[in-house]
Amino acid sequence: MAGGWCHVVARGNERKRVFRDEKDRLRFLELLEDMPDVET
């Protein structure tokens, strides 16, 4: 899928945290909002 995200993780390896802090998590969500909608 050119220009899109094909996978989003729910947790890190070995169940470690995915985001460093709340600010990091919110930035990730902002990036997701900016992604174009793609129908498969």
pLDDT band for 23, please (50, 70, 90 cuts). Answer: very high
Q: Which amino acid is at 25?
A: R
- Residue 21, SS3? coil
- Collapsing DSSP states into helix, strand and coil, what is residue 15? helix
pTM score, two decimals?
0.58
> Among candidates 37, 39, 40, 12, which has minimal Cα distance to 25?
12
> Residue ranges of the domains in the chain?
1-40
Q: Report the C-alpha gap between 29 and 17 in whole angstroms.
A: 16
Report the pLDDT value the prediction gives residue 21, as an integer from 0 to 100: 95
In whole numbers, what is the pLDDT of the chain averaged over residues? 77
Q: Is the pLDDT of residue 1 over 60?
A: no
